[in-house]
Amino acid sequence: ILNVEQSPQSLHVQEGDSTNFTCSFPSSNFYALHWYRWETAKSPEALFVMTLNGDEKKKGRISATLNTKEGYSYLYIKGSQPEDSATYLCAFSDTGFQKLVFGTGTRLLVSP
């Protein structure tokens, strides 16, 4: 069973704060790590897919890093805005590349 863990479970920050979340995954047989942004009643929205150790991706104020040797990825949000409020999910694929196993998510609330 592939175990993907995310922390913290929830986070409440003020507008303008920068924040980060962690996704931990098995360090063996790594194939890809995905980050999604998910708002209630909507489809998860793809943010990043990372495949190489040391990968860094950026999309506006959101960025992510990947360490496949130790099995973790960080997602950073710089200058959080209320519209960033959502659940952030990571998902892991092993070398079988068939299953995609999700973490339980980090729920972010940004107050004005």
* Residue among 5, 2, 19 at smallest CA distance from 103: 5
DSSP 56: E
Secondary structure of the chain: what % helix, strand, coil (to 5)?
A: 5, 55, 40
Using the rule CB under 8 A, is 28 a contact of other proteins?
no
Is-contact 32 97, C-beta < 8 A? yes
In the complex, what is the shortest distance from the CB of residue 74 to other proteins, in angstroms, rounded to a whole number?
Answer: 18
CB of 51 to other proteins, least distance (A): 5
Stretch that binds other proteins, among 18-26, 27-35, 61-69, 71-79 (CB under 8 A): 27-35
* Tokens of residue 49, six digits: 């897919």
Nearest distance in Å: CB 34, other proteins:
7
Give the residue among 72, 91, 78, 75 at the shortest CA–CA distance from 32: 91
Confirm or reject binding of residue 98 to other proteins (CB under 8 A).
yes
For residue 110, the minimal CB distance to other proteins (Å) is: 21
Positions that interact with other proteins (CB under 8 A)? 1, 6, 9, 31-32, 34, 41-44, 46, 49, 51, 89, 91, 93, 97-105
